[in-house]
Structure 1
């Protein structure tokens, strides 16, 4: 009886071993993919080489805005009237976006510049989560429009959030930033574009 029992159970460890060997390449690939994704993120969003990704919309009129407000924020909806005649930074954010959280203190500092109107598109978010995000980190925005299905993001050619667009008083898109603002993108991208716009020129 003992011999029969041992023989019947002998293949099981072998099968488990085969399963483990089959899973090993997947685990290795997952680790490599995760490392590669992290490297690409750091290069694209934090490196100097890609401080601002070109957009076909730069130099053209900004897409029309008619987004409903974030209920509970006590801020107006994001419409064309919210940016008309003002040098405006349109920021696309979500509460679930970790880089958005990292960028938020920068937006709060930018909001102290009275020459710049900062508004937001809240992208595919839950209203209660967006309110909690703003309650915790502060609100730099003059208007917020919700984009629960991402339709407005498509119109604006959003590549990945956070994403920001500098729009001139005449409604022309002057500058685009993909990823969170850092010292390099501010000094070499946003600030020069702002100065040029305020001086009466346009950015490319």
Structure 2
């Protein structure tokens, strides 16, 4: 008899959890419909970037896919001569990299920048690949200290269907990134 109130309480909690998760699915469905045009524009913008050519007729961006997720593809264009950074450290998933960056939407509108972070010195942000969106993690682990590049990621490797501050769901993102240092270089076990 003493177990009956406990059973009712557990069933009540399960009902609340079930109702809440249904609401989340409805929000996702609403976003899918509500932001259809934005999603299509971002998907097309990524394709245009992927297919863009340099002045000499070669691909402007290289496609980068990590070994741990070959279907995940971002675009990177290095602005420096990478032979000069060959042999420099490249972060692991658990490292912390010191970078300068500015992030933009497909419209060119900036949404985030390390240049706004002047509390700790000269506009440098500390980023860990494991705490970044998947597209940024891929980019950081491809870079070496001293590299500067433009990174373009599809919405699936950015925030996906989530609203994140001023970033709408299904936003493909572009970053200008410069890797300054790796102050916390973690060697994988």
**Scaled by the length of structure 2, what TM-score is found?**
0.30
Structure (1 or 2) with the larger CA radius of gyration = 1
Bigger strand share: 2
Q: Which has the higher helix share?
A: 1
